[in-house]
Chains A and B, each alone.
Chain A
Amino acid sequence: MATTSLGSFSGWTQLLRMIQRRDRWVMPAWIIGVTMFCAGFVPAMPSIAGSSDEMGILGELMKNPAMVAMCGLIYGSEVTLSIIYSQMMMVWSALVVAVMNILIVIRHTRTDEDEGRLEVIRALPTGRLANLGAVSVLMVYINVVVFLACGFFMGVFNVESFTVRGCLLYSAALATCGLFFAALTMVIVQIAHSSREAMGISTGLLGFFYILRAYGDVSSETLAVISPLGLIQRTYCFYEDRLMPVVILVSLSLVLMGLGFALSSLRDLGQGLLPNLGRARAHAPRTLSGEWGLTWRLTRSTILAWSATVFISAAAYGSVMGEMEDFVMSNPLYQQMMGIGANEKDITGPVVTMLVLIMGIIGTIPVLTTVFKLRSEEVQGRLDYVLGKSVSRWRLFIGYAGLAVIVSAVMLVLTAAGFWVVIQSVMTEPVSTPLIAKVAFNYFPALFAFGGLGLFLVGYAKKYTWVGWTYLVVSFLMTYMGSMMGLPRWAERLTPFGLLQRWPSEPFSWWPWIGLMVAGIVLGVLGALGFRRRDILT
C-alpha cells in the first residue's frame, strides 16, 4: 500500500497553472457555450408561452409520458414559465454540463497518461497525486464558474416567475450534477485501460442514468432519484426550492474524489484496475478486408449510434404530434416560425416538415463525421499505411463518399420510419404515409450537398473542415430561428436546408432539389480530384 501524505500532492499548483495555460481558449469556450445552453433560452420564454392559455397547453404537452421520459418530471401546483423552463431544459442542460465535465477530466488525466505526458510530469519533482489534485481543484473551479454565470444570466433578464432563489438553485443543481460526473470520471479513469475506454464507460454511465431517470420519472420515483439527473429535478426549482439534492450530490462527489485518489495511488501509471475485456481476436473477420471494409469498420459504431438517436428522437417527436399541433395552433410565434398562414386549418404538413427539417440537420452530423473521418485518419498518420499498400486514392475516397451518401439516405429513412411507427398508433387521424415519405425525400439533397461540401474540404482545403461544421450550425440557426428573428425567406435560402421548398406549405419545386444534388456531385468530384493530387500530410 502506497503511503498517501500531503507530499503526494506537491507541485499541484504549477500543474493547475499549466492546465489553465493549455486550455486558455478551450475552457472559456466551454463555459460560455454551456452557460448559453443552460440560460440562453430564458429571455425567449415569454414569446414561446406568454399567455396563460399557451402555458396551459404547453403544460399539457409536457405531461405526455413521452415528454416526461424525454425531458423530465412534472411538478408544481400551477404552471408558470419558470417551471415549464425547468421541465423542458434542466435534464438536457445537466447532460451538457456532465459531458463537459467528463471530457475535461479525461483530457487532463487519462489522455495525458496515454500520450506519455504524465510520465514526464511524474519524473519531475511532483507528487504522485499532484495531477489528479490539480484536476479536482480545476473541476470545482469550473463548476463554480458555471453556477455563477448560469445563475446570473437566468436572473438578469428579469423574466416573470424566475425568482432569484430559484435561478440560483437551478444553476447550483446543474453545477453539482457536473461536479458529480467529474468526480465519477476521476474514478473511472483509474479503472479503465485507456482514455477511449474511460470515455466509453463514462458516457455509457451518463446514458444509463438518463434512461434510469426516464423510466423512473414515468413509473418509479425511487429509480428516478437514484439517477443524479433525476435527483437534481427533485430540487423542485421555482416551486419548493429544496436544497437537499444539491447537498447529497456535493457529498457524493467528495466521496468519489476520495475514492479516485485512493485508487490512483494503488495502481501503476498506464495500467487499469479492470480486468482486460474485449474480444481477443487474433485474425481479422471477413468483413475487414480492403479499404472499404476498413472504412466501414472505423465508422460503423458512430453511424449506428446516430441511427439509433435519429430513429428514437423521431419516434419521440411522433408521439407528441397531436399535442404539438394544438400547441402550434395556439401560438402565433410558432406558426410564423413554420411559415403557416394565420387562418390555415391543416397544419399537419408544416409540423411534419419542421420535425423532418430538425431531424435532417441532426442527421447531417454523421454525414460530416463520416467524410471528415478520412481527414482525421490522415492527421493520425494512418493513411500512410493504407496508401502504402496497393490501394488507390480514388477508391479510398469513393468509399468514404459512397458511405456518406448512404448515411444521408438512411438518416432520413429512419426519421420517416420513426415518425410513421409511432404516429400510426398515437394519432386518431394518422398522418398519411406518402406525406412523411415525400417530406423526407424533399430534404435528401440538403444532406447530400453537405456531404459534398465535406468531401470538397477534405480534398481541397484540408485545414478548413471546421467550415463544414460552422455552416451546419448556421443552417440550423437560420432555418430554425430565422423567421423568429425576422429574417426574410431569401436569407434562409443561403443554406441547403432553407434553399429547398418547405413542402407542403410551399409548392414543391425540382429546381432547388436538382440544384443541390448537382452542387453535391460537383463538390464531391472536385474534392476527389484535389485528394488525388495533393500530399498526404499529418
Chain B
Amino acid sequence: MSEMTISMNGITKDFGRVHALTGVDLEVGPGEIYGFIGPNGAGKSTTIRILLGILKADSGQAQLFGKDVWSDAVDIHQKVSYVPGDVNLWPSLTGGEVIDLFVRLKKTGDQRYRKELIEKFDFDPTRKCGTYSKGNRQKVALIAAFSTDADVYILDEPTSGLDPLMEMVFRECVRKVAAEGKTVFLSSHILSEVEQLCTRLSIIRQGKIVDTGSLREMQHLTRNQVHVEATGDLGGLKTLEGVHDLSLHDGEAEFHLDNDHTAGVMAFLATQGATRLVSTPPTLEELFMSHYEA
C-alpha cells in the first residue's frame, strides 16, 4: 500500500441527501499518468477535492505518499501541483503576480521553468486576471503548476479552455514530468487526451468507479469491430458463438467479435478463403459510451 503515490479506499461523500461518492477505490503508483474520466457531475472534482484535503470524506481512507490527505494536507501539498478546472482568479492581480503567489504559497521557492513555460504557452503575464479569457486563466494555473518541482500533479480538466496548439504544449509538459518519474492524475472528459497520455485509467459514473485498468485491458474485455472479405460463403458466421451485430453483403461481412471467441471465428474464416481482414479495437470513446448506455 504505502509505495502507492495515491491511494483511496472506500471513499464515501454525501452532500445532504445527494450521494456524491460511494465507495471509491483508487491506486496510482509513481511514474504513472492516470486518467480519470466521467461526465459532468459524476464526482471527478469531488474526488480531487478530497485528495487535496479541501473536502473531508465521510468514510474511507485517502492517502498521498502514505500520509492522510486531510490531517497532513499542508505537508503533502509541498510536493503536489494542482490545476483546477474552473480557474477563478483575483481580478485585481496580474497573471504574473498570481503565478509568483502560487509558487510562493507552495513554499518550495523554486521556479526554474517559469520563463520557459510563459514563452511556450505564449502567455502575457502583465495583464490583470479580470481581463483574461478562460484559456488564459488556465494557463496561469498550468504555468504555476509545471514551473515548480512536485511529485504529484493533480489536474482537474486542465485543458477545457485551451486551443489545440496549447493542448500540445500541455501534453509535452505532462510527458516530461512523467519521464522524470512523477505521478500525474488527470481528470478529463477529452477522451483523446486520456487515450494518448494515460497508462491506466478509471471511469467514474454517479459516484462509483465502474471500470479500472489500462486501455488495453479494457479493450480486451470487450468486442473488436471486424471487417472481412472472402471468396467463400460467410453466411455460416450467423451460427458462430461470439459474433454480434452481423451484417452481410456479397462477399463482405461486418460484425462485433467477443475477444475470447477469436480462435473459433478465425478457423471458420480460413475455410472460406478470407482475402482481407481488418480488426479494430474499440476506441476509448466507444468503451466510455458502453458504460453509459448499459
Residue pair A390, B91 in contact (C-beta under 8 Å):
no
A388 sits at the interface (CB 8 A): yes
* 0 or 1 for each of B85-125: is its CB under 8 Å from A? (1 = yes): 01011111110111111101111100000000000000001
Chain B residues within 8 Å of A290, by CB = 104-105
Chain B residues within 8 Å of A297, by CB = 93
Residue pair B130, A387 in contact (C-beta under 8 Å):
no
Chain A residues within 8 Å of B80, by CB = 388
Give the Cβ gap from B68 to chain A, nearest Cβ, in Å: 14
Give the Cβ gap from B62 to chain A, nearest Cβ, in Å: 14
A18 sits at the interface (CB 8 A): no
Name the segment of B48-56, B246-254, B260-268 touching the other chain: B48-56
State which of A114, A196, A278, A294 has its C-beta within 8 Å of the C-beta of B101. A294
* 0 or 1 for each of B128-165: is its CB under 8 Å from A? (1 = yes): 10110000000001000000000000000000000000
B221 sits at the interface (CB 8 A): no
Chain B residues within 8 Å of A293, by CB = 101, 104
> With A196-B92, A290-B105, A536-B54 in contact, do A388 and B77 touch (Cβ < 8 Å)?
yes
Residue pair A387, B106 in contact (C-beta under 8 Å):
no
State which of A280, A291, A294, A534 has its C-beta within 8 Å of the C-beta of B126. A280
Chain A residues within 8 Å of B90, by CB = 298, 382
State which of A284, A298, A381 has its C-beta within 8 Å of the C-beta of B100. A284
Residue pair B82, A194 in contact (C-beta under 8 Å):
no
Residue pair A380, B96 in contact (C-beta under 8 Å):
no
A321 vs B27: C-alpha distance in the bound complex, in angstroms? Answer: 73
Chain B residues within 8 Å of A193, by CB = 130-131
For A280, the closest partner residue in chain B by CB is B126
B218 sits at the interface (CB 8 A): no
A384 sits at the interface (CB 8 A): yes
* 0 or 1 for each of A504-538: is its CB under 8 Å from B? (1 = yes): 00000000000000000000000000000111110
B168 sits at the interface (CB 8 A): no
Q: Is the interface of A mostly helix, strand, loop or mixed?
A: loop
Residue pair B97, A283 in contact (C-beta under 8 Å):
yes
B74 sits at the interface (CB 8 A): yes
Residue pair B94, A280 in contact (C-beta under 8 Å):
yes
B78 sits at the interface (CB 8 A): yes
Residue pair B104, A387 in contact (C-beta under 8 Å):
no
Of A284, A533, A536, chain B has the most CB atoms within 10 Å of the CB of A284
B73 sits at the interface (CB 8 A): yes
Residue pair A288, B88 in contact (C-beta under 8 Å):
no
Residue pair B82, A385 in contact (C-beta under 8 Å):
yes
Residue pair A384, B100 in contact (C-beta under 8 Å):
no
> With A278-B128, A284-B97, A388-B77 in contact, do A535 and B54 touch (Cβ < 8 Å)?
yes
Count A/B pairs, Cβ under 8 Å.
110
State which of A284, A298, A391 has its C-beta within 8 Å of the C-beta of B77. A391
A535 vs B131: C-alpha distance in the bound complex, in angstroms? Answer: 30
A497 vs B101: C-alpha distance in the bound complex, in angstroms? Answer: 39
> With A194-B130, A390-B74 in contact, do A385 and B141 touch (Cβ < 8 Å)?
yes
A298 vs B77: C-alpha distance in the bound complex, in angstroms? Answer: 23
Give the Cβ gap from A384 to chain B, nearest Cβ, in Å: 6
Chain B residues within 8 Å of A114, by CB = 130
Q: For residues 63 through 107 of chain A, which have their beta carbon under 8 Å from a beta carbon of chain B?
A: none
A382 vs B92: C-alpha distance in the bound complex, in angstroms? Answer: 13
State which of A389, A533, A536 has its C-beta within 8 Å of the C-beta of B105. A389
Residue pair B100, A288 in contact (C-beta under 8 Å):
yes
A381 vs B86: C-alpha distance in the bound complex, in angstroms? Answer: 9
Chain A residues within 8 Å of B97, by CB = 281, 283-285, 288
Give the Cβ gap from B67 to chain A, nearest Cβ, in Å: 13
Chain B residues within 8 Å of A194, by CB = 91, 130-131
Q: For residues 286 through 308 of chain A, which have their beta carbon under 8 Å from a beta carbon of chain B?
A: 288-291, 293-294, 297-298
Chain A residues within 8 Å of B100, by CB = 283-284, 288-289
A244 vs B272: C-alpha distance in the bound complex, in angstroms? Answer: 102
* 0 or 1 for each of A270-287: is its CB under 8 Å from B? (1 = yes): 000000101111111100
A140 sits at the interface (CB 8 A): no
For B87, the closest partner residue in chain A by CB is A385
> With A388-B54, A388-B77, A390-B77 in contact, do A282 and B102 touch (Cβ < 8 Å)?
no
B84 sits at the interface (CB 8 A): yes
Residue pair B106, A390 in contact (C-beta under 8 Å):
yes
Residue pair A384, B93 in contact (C-beta under 8 Å):
no
Q: For residues 186 through 212 of chain B, which have their beta carbon under 8 Å from a beta carbon of chain A?
A: none
Report A's interface with B, CB cutoff 8 A: 114, 193-194, 196, 276, 278-285, 288-291, 293-294, 297-298, 380-392, 533-537
| CB<8 Å pairs between A and B, sample of 29 | A114-B130, A194-B131, A276-B127, A280-B94, A281-B97, A282-B96, A283-B97, A283-B100, A284-B98, A284-B99, A284-B104, A285-B97, A288-B93, A288-B97, A294-B105, A297-B93, A382-B88, A385-B102, A385-B141, A387-B53, A387-B54, A388-B80, A388-B84, A389-B77, A389-B105, A390-B77, A390-B108, A533-B56, A537-B55
**Contacts A381-B88, A388-B52 known; 13 new A-B pairs at CB < 8 A:** A281-B126, A282-B96, A283-B125, A284-B101, A288-B104, A290-B104, A294-B105, A387-B54, A388-B82, A389-B77, A390-B105, A391-B74, A392-B73
